[in-house]
Chain A
Amino acid sequence: MEASPPASRVDLARALRQTAITALIAFGLLLPLIGFNTVQNIRNELVLETRWPLLAALVAIIAAGRFLHAAFIAPALARRALRPRQEDAKRVATRARRLRWLTPFTLGFALLYPALVLSIVGTQGAVKWIDNFGVQILIYVMLGWGLNIVVGLAGLLDLGYVAFYAVGAYSYALLAHNFGLSFWILLPVAGCLAAFWGILLGFPVLRLRGDYLAIVTLAFGEIIRLILINWVPVTNGYAGISGIPRPTFFGIAFNASDEGFAARFGLEFSPVYRTIFLYYLILALALVTAALTVRLRRLPIGRAWEALREDEIACRSLGINTTNTKLTAFAMGAMFAGFAGSFFAARQGFISPESFTFMESAVIVAIVVLGGMGSLLGVAIAAVIMIGGTEIMRELDFLKVVFGSAFDPTQYRMLLFGFAMVLIMVWRPRGLIATREPSTLLKTSRRALLREQKTTKPSLAQERHG
């Protein structure tokens, strides 16, 4: 921010001045909404209460943070920026090596997670941990990977992605409810229907670019949600659809009956088996999404997507049919959202339009962009941080000891979520993992690169991850 000269000693006067200004601004910002609280009295009238101690505390915290930044962190950063950086190439190489190990490690951890949880907390507590953290995060990982095709590969910003998720969920719920079809038949059906809607909604907006496209897709997302709310005869409106059949293990239901999963396999009945099954199901679905994305990037269509992202005009002049290219990206992304949606409906057993608000779309887009567009690993990490982080907030009951019993950490979830979005964007505008695997390398150059890497020649190693 401030281009301060690398002073050898801490410039206290300057830091104090900046702190004072920041404190003043923070006071102005927080005075109306924190300093006063509007509450209803016994006669149901709005009256004002003051909260001066809280206001003072928040301003003090902000001022302290600013002082630390101005006095110590900013000068340190300025000094580091001036230090010669001939180590760069080596750093890039080690980071690349670390990233290469991260993928198999994450995958292994994901595969072993239920077993890990079972062995630590036992069958009683495991349901919560596998469901809230495992399944919940993996749904967003899958949605993020699906949207990654549209946003990360094709470069089309879709702010109405949740609409396709909703189409998938309602397709499964309605068809299973009214026709009694099973989850395994309806999973592909829901995917196809969502893809169809992707084409339907994608078609009119293909001429639009960038922010315009984002806003129109947002409008479509809202329209679908409003229709779900208002078309009561079919969707049951706000009340939603309940009693959606749960998926079965190749025809064996997860219940306590003699025909149930536990009885068939001679196990004691416990809800944890269904949760574990759902966990592996969504893990498999997510991995299919990832595998397809990796493979699609090597097909002509995948290359066309990425070319489209980089330069649409160049694409058109090279004879790429941009309409078809965009539509396939839309349809592909929508299809995965449809799969995820039908899984969601099957897992919850109940869906209502409340689950498909714009906020969900924003969360998914945030995961893709924060993770680093186009990077599968980055998207997964962002999903773990953002969704896992907000889920963790539910578990922080010990904070009540610190802040008093009225303190409810869950209501700060979305507050911190929004804050984290801004913070990560400012910190790393290109996302957590900004390096992108090259789409294609010439055979010879790949071998040459490997050879170069062994001798760690800086220029090429750097180029590969530039």
Chain B
Amino acid sequence: MEVFIQQLINGITLGSIYGLIAIGYTMVFGIIGMVNFAHGDVFMVSAFIALITLLLLTTWLGIGSFALALLIVLIVSMLFTSLVNWAIERTAYRPLRGSFRLAPLISAIGMSIFLSNFVQVAQGPRVKSIPPFFNEVIVLTPEGSGYEVVISYKQIVVWAVTAALLLVFWFVVTKTALGRAQRACEQDQKMAALLGIDVDRTISITFVIAAALAAVAGTMYLMYYGVVSFADGFVPGVKAFTAAVLGGIGSLPGAVIGGLLIGLIETMWSAYFSIDYKDVAAFSILAITMIFLPQGILGRPDVEKV
């Protein structure tokens, strides 16, 4: 039981990170119907931006307060990652809008290869690790019991930041004019344009929001694991996509639920079965969901119109 609760805590932490990335996939797919293959690499780039900002703050400016440093890192990473994703959409995807179906996907795969290799060339192929910090834990089990269930401060930070940003994001999408424009473009771009919505701008903003959430995930990932390398975009990217599909692609709460589920399944599988095959488990879930529940948990069924 203690093991289970411990894995639950770990799984939810991992799942929050996946969920944040998954929202980016699901939003982009919802609005322009393309799988943004480079999103995992945008996440990796954001972790690198966070790493550089953190080093800048701690080694150059000597900021000692952890909370302040984290806040600044988060904001800087969100800003720069948004710029990166905006530029990607502008140069690699927008010229292909309305082109044949595979073109944006191929362009996105090319962008994904470009981004990971760009980081490899610019920052070197080695795994970058930050000095361990903020390692306090809270022991949840009563003293004297055999197995200690612990929750680290880092995990609490991940949960809190994820929850807070999801609330903000939820507010933006459901209550603001921007969110309404977004949902309108999702349903019918031509009609939205006729009603005076700037479709291009709305799509750009969607990419910016997706990148900002990926940057939150990237910063959390860096803080939680303490390491990042240029190759860290692909696997979390595919898993987050799995989460988006599992939750029902196009559905925002679905992406979060899917993320949490994938995180939980992965940690439970590692704890109870074999750590070697944890990625196989995640990919198998993707395939099984696609085959038996293609619309996902919260997605609308795909109605085919002729």
Which positions in A face B, CB cutoff 8 Å?
1, 25, 28-29, 31-34, 36-40, 45-48, 151, 157, 204-205, 207-208, 210-212, 214-216, 218-220, 222-223, 226-227, 229-230, 313, 358-359, 362, 365-366, 369-370, 373, 411-412, 414-415, 417-422, 425-426, 429-430
Contacts and interface: CB of A to CB of B under 8 A. Distances in A.
A25 to B, nearest CB: 6
Interface string B248-290: 0000000000000000000000000000110110011011001
Interface string B107-126: 10111111101111111101
14 contacts: A38-B52, A46-B55, A151-B102, A219-B287, A223-B280, A223-B284, A226-B280, A227-B280, A369-B102, A370-B106, A418-B113, A418-B114, A421-B114, A430-B100
B53 interface: yes
B238 interface: yes
A411 B110 contact: no
A219 B95 CA distance: 29
A47 B51 CA distance: 11
B279 A33 contact: no
A199 to B, nearest CB: 15
B277 A226 contact: yes
Contacts of A418: 110-115, 117
Which of B53, B106, B115, B245 has the most C-beta atoms of chain A within 10 angstroms of its own C-beta? Answer: B106
Given A29-B87, A207-B291, A365-B106, 20 more contacts: A28-B83, A33-B48, A33-B122, A34-B122, A38-B124, A48-B60, A157-B102, A204-B287, A208-B290, A211-B33, A212-B245, A226-B277, A313-B304, A369-B102, A414-B113, A418-B117, A419-B110, A421-B106, A426-B91, A429-B96
A219 B53 contact: no
Contact of B109 (A205, A216, A229, A421): A421
B223 to A, nearest CB: 15
Q: Which 5 A-B pairs have the closest CB atoms?
A: A421-B110, A418-B114, A418-B113, A415-B117, A429-B99
A422 B111 contact: yes
Contacts of B111: 418, 422
A226 B114 contact: no
B297 interface: no
- Looking at chain B's contact residues, the main secondary structure is helix
A215 B35 contact: yes
Nearest to A151: B102
Contact of A211 (B55, B91, B105, B276): B105
A226 B291 contact: no
A95 B112 CA distance: 34
Contact of B107 (A28, A208, A412, A425): A425
Nearest to B53: A32
Interface stretch (B13-21, B128-136, B153-161, B167-175): B128-136
Interface residues of B, number: 68
Contacts of B279: 222, 226
Contacts, number: 181
A202 to B, nearest CB: 12
B199 interface: no
Contacts of A366: 106, 109-110
Contacts of A48: 52, 55-56, 59-60
A346 B45 CA distance: 39
Given A48-B55, A207-B294, A32 B283 contact: no
Contacts of A37: 122-124
Contacts of A419: 110, 114
A205 B280 contact: no
Contacts of A28: 80, 83
A204 B291 contact: yes
B210 to A, nearest CB: 17
Contacts of B131: 45-46
A29 B48 CA distance: 13
Nearest to B92: A422
B280 A426 contact: no
Contacts of B52: 32-33, 36, 38, 48
Nearest to B56: A48
A151 B105 CA distance: 13
Contact of B306 (A222, A313, A422, A425): A313
A93 to B, nearest CB: 25
A87 to B, nearest CB: 25
Which of B53, B55, B110 has the most C-beta atoms of chain A within 10 angstroms of its own C-beta? Answer: B110
A222 B114 contact: no
B123 A222 contact: no
Nearest to A48: B55
Which of A412, A419, A429 has the most C-beta atoms of chain B within 10 angstroms of its own C-beta? Answer: A429
A415 B60 CA distance: 31
Given A38-B51, A205-B290, A414-B117, A222 B238 contact: yes
A47 B54 CA distance: 11
B65 to A, nearest CB: 20
B22 interface: no
Contacts of B126: 40
Which of A215, A218, A429 has the most C-beta atoms of chain B within 10 angstroms of its own C-beta? Answer: A215
Contacts of A1: 95
A48 to B, nearest CB: 5
Interface in B36-77: 45, 48-49, 51-53, 55-56, 59-60
Nearest to B88: A422
A211 B35 contact: yes
A79 B145 CA distance: 81
B224 interface: no
B153 to A, nearest CB: 22
Contact of B287 (A47, A207, A210, A220): A220
Contacts of B53: 32
Contacts of A414: 113, 117
B101 interface: yes
B113 A25 contact: no
A421 B113 contact: yes
A215 B123 contact: no
Contacts of B129: 46
A25 B55 contact: no
A111 B78 CA distance: 55
